[in-house]
């Protein structure tokens, strides 16, 4: 019988223990921020009925779905984000929820796109959404939570690039092209990646002439500062109701963002931000890592005021965002800013021989009870091999049983040693300044 070659699918990855520990640490930090703002956790299945996932996606996103017919003959798809499952969730459980509903969800999502730097087919998203309220206060809250997450993650400067889809809708209204808003927005979403000529070609394909395309691209170019950008947009949208409303809300959002103590330069009004998904209806945002902008956004989101309307007659507007942990980890690795996290064990008790194994287990248990993560080496090996194991894993303290029942402790960082009569003495030594 020939061996099966061990390998992973393209776009998927294994995490080594150090990577998994780093990811867990990042996720815990994100959860702490979410909960500090009053958001609670939910979970939904990875598999959904395909019609649930595809209902509001539109465009090329549908082509990236992992979908198939299951053994029961049902058309199913793997979730490609956490927002559409949220819309299904609130529609299905509406009577059990309290609104405004603040939720966060951390889970793997799947997209069949071409794998490349910063893009995988399986990746972890951390979403926070506020369902119920409409207006600048809710939008500002989402951006404030988002900014707090990146500050807590300590990943360096992150700029939130913010726009409002109603502004471009207002511009298209003045150009007589309001009915083509969705394909125009999808085209604009590709501008940074594919360039102006590709975008122009797609806009011509939906019936815009060159003069209209010039106006759209000019509107999507930021000014020297936010006020200059907003002033330029005001001139372009004219008296259109939704264009004016989008600009007014952006001004209020910025004011509330700064009132919450956020750095003014952490938010930039950028009319080039469109977001490719059709369900966005108002504010949209992308997070850019200042030190590595070419890796793409490390988070994004926006307002979706009619997403749940596919599943319920109740009006459930929402606003939210995602933090892309997988891409963020790739960026930190590229920048050489990964923290060294090799193991969770703080103390190793070496194998003492079968006759003293019960004492070793009791010693390790007493350390764990005092808050020191501890393990016992599980088999007889030469003492040098056990010490090399501790060194390779990065265990900071090693304890070896002496013949009189005391323990010889060694701090691996500097070689300092101590004889400890029992676990209590060992704890005192570990915790000394």
Q: For the segment 291-332, what is each residue's pLDDT rounded down to a tens digit?
A: 888 888 899 999 998 878 889 999 999 999 999 898 888 888
pLDDT, averaged across the chain: 91
Please give the C-alpha separations between residue 412 and each of 388, 398, 399, 417, in angstroms, as whole numbers: 11, 7, 11, 9
pLDDT average, residue stretch 225-245: 90
pLDDT of 116 higher than 80: no
Inform me whether the pLDDT recorded for 236 exceeds 80: yes
| Same-domain status, 142 and 51 | yes
CATH code of the domain containing 163: 3.30.930.10
Q: Which residue has the higher pLDDT, 398 or 112?
A: 398
First to last CA, the chain: 59
Is residue 357 included in any domain, yes or no?
Answer: yes
pLDDT beyond 70 at 59: no
Residue 276: the pLDDT is: 64
The share of the chain scoring above pLDDT 90, in percent, equals 64
How far apart are the C-alpha atoms of 123 and 116, rounded to whole Å? 13
130 and 241 assigned to the same domain: yes
Q: For the chain, what is the domain count? A: 2
Q: How confident is the model at residue 235 (pLDDT cuts 50, 70, 90)?
A: confident
Of 323, 325, 324, 278, which Cα lies nearest the Cα of 84? Answer: 278
Q: Are the beta carbons of 335 and 292 closer than 8 angstroms? A: yes
Least confident of 20-29, 55-64, 265-274, 299-308: 55-64
Cβ-contact 70, 76 below 8 angstroms: yes
How far is it, in rounded angstroms, from Cα 61 to Cα 362? 56
Return phi, psi of residue 132, to 5°. Answer: 125, -65
User: Which of 310, 334, 358 is the endpoint of a domain?
Assistant: 334
Residue with tokens 């975008």: 199
pLDDT, average across residues 337-362: 88
Last residue of a domain, one of 334, 363, 383: 334
Task: Tell me, yes or no, whether 312 and 386 share the same domain.
Answer: no
Q: What is the token pair recorded at 221?
A: 């170019």
**102, containing H or E segment:** strand 101-110
Q: How confident is the model at residue 118 (pLDDT cuts 50, 70, 90)?
A: low
Together in a domain, 84 and 206: yes
Average pLDDT over residues 350-375: 96
Give me the CATH number covering residue 414: 3.40.50.800
Report pLDDT for 433.
Answer: 83
Q: What is the mean pLDDT of residues 395-406?
A: 96
pLDDT of residue 105: 98
Answer yes or no: do 314 and 362 share one domain. no
Return the percentage of the chain with pLDDT > 70, whole number: 97
Whether residue 4 lies inside any domain: the answer is no
Higher pLDDT, 403 or 193: 403
Residue at 297 is within a domain: yes
Residue 11 lies in a domain: no
Whether residue 328 sits in one domain with residue 362: no
H/E stretch holding 387 reads helix 383-393
Q: CA angle, 108 as apex, 105 and 111 as ends, to 5°?
A: 120
Beta strand pairing call for 283-289 and 122-131:
unpaired
Rounded CA-CA distance 180/182 in Å is: 6
On the question of pLDDT at 58 being above 60, the answer is: no
Mean of the pLDDT values across residues 341-353? Answer: 89
Q: Give the residue from 227, 247, 228 showing the smallest Cα distance to 239.
A: 247
Are 286 and 300 within 8 A, CB to CB? Answer: yes
pLDDT above 80: residue 30:
yes
**pLDDT score, position 179:** 82
- Tell me, yes or no, whether 172 and 228 share the same domain: yes
Check whether 340 has a pLDDT greater than 70.
no
CA–CA distance, 380 with 113 (Å, rounded to integer): 49
Is residue 325 in some structural domain? yes
User: Is 397 within a domain?
Assistant: yes
Whether the pTM exceeds 0.85: the reply is: yes
**CB 120, CB 326: distance < 8 Å:** yes
Inform me whether the pLDDT recorded for 411 exceeds 80.
Answer: yes
Residue 60, pLDDT score: 62
What is each CA distance from 115 to 19, 118, 123, 322, in whole angstroms? 19, 8, 11, 20
- Among the residue ranges 161-165, 275-279, 320-324, 418-422, the one predicted with the least confidence is 275-279
Structural domain range at position 360: 347-431
Domain boundary among 334, 365, 397: 334
Q: Using an 8 Å Cβ cutoff, are 102 and 127 in contact?
A: no
Q: What is the pLDDT of residue 56?
A: 63
Q: Bigger pLDDT: 257 or 119?
A: 257
382 and 254 assigned to the same domain? no
294 lies in the same domain as 360? no
Mean pLDDT of 336-345: 73
Give yes or no: residues 392 and 329 share one domain. Answer: no
262 inside domain: yes
pLDDT of 403 higher than 80: yes
Q: Tell whether 115 and 187 lie within a shared domain.
A: yes
Peptide bond between residue 400 and the one before it cis (omega within 30 degrees of 0):
no
Asked whether residue 54 falls in the same domain as residue 176, the answer is: yes
């Amino acid at each position: 019988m020939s061996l099966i070659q061990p390998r992973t699918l393209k776009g998927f990855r294994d995490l080594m223990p150090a990577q998994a520990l780093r990811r867990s640490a990042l996720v815990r930090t994100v959860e702490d921020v979410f909960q500090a703002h009053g958001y609670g956790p939910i979970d939904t299945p990875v598999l959904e009925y395909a019609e649930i996932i595809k209902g509001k996606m539109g465009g090329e996103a549908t082509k990236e779905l992992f979908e198939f017919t299951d053994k029961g003959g049902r058309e199913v798809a793997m979730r490609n984000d956490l927002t559409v499952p949220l819309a299904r969730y609130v529609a299905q459980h509406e009577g059990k929820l309290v609104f405004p509903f603040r939720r966060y969800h951390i889970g793997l999502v799947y997209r069949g796109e071409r794998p490349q730097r910063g893009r995988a087919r399986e990746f972890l998203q951390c979403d926070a959404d506020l369902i119920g309220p409409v207006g600048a206060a809710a939008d500002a809250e989402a951006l404030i939570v988002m900014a707090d997450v990146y500050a807590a993650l300590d990943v360096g400067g992150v700029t939130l690039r913010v726009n409002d889809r109603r502004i471009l809708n207002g511009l298209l209204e003045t150009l007589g092209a309001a009915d083509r808003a969705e394909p125009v927005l999808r085209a604009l979403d590709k501008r940074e990646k594919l360039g102006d000529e590709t975008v122009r070609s797609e806009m011509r394909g939906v019936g815009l002439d060159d003069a209209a395309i010039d106006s759209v691209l000019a509107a999507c170019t930021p000014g020297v500062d936010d006020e200059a950008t907003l002033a330029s947009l005001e001139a372009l949208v004219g008296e259109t109701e939704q264009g004016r409303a989008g600009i007014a809300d952006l001004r209020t959002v910025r004011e509330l963002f700064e009132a919450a103590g956020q750095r003014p330069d952490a938010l930039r009004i950028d009319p080039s931000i469109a977001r490719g998904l059709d369900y966005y209806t108002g504010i949209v945002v992308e997070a850019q890592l200042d030190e590595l902008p070419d890796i793409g956004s490390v988070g994004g989101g926006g307002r979706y005021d009619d997403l749940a309307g596919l599943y319920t007659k109740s009006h459930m507007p929402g606003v939210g965002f995602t933090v892309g942990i997988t891409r963020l980890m790739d960026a930190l690795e590229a920048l050489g800013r990964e923290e060294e996290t090799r193991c969770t064990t703080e103390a190793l008790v070496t194998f003492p021989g079968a006759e003293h194994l019960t004492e070793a287990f009791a010693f390790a248990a007493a350390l764990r009870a005092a808050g020191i993560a501890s393990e016992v080496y599980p088999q007889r090996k030469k003492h040098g091999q056990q010490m090399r194991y501790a060194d390779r894993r990065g265990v900071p303290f090693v304890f070896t049983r002496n013949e009189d029942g005391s323990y010889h402790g060694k701090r691996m960082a500097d070689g300092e040693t101590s004889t400890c009569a029992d676990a209590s003495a060992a704890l005192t030594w570990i915790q000394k300044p």
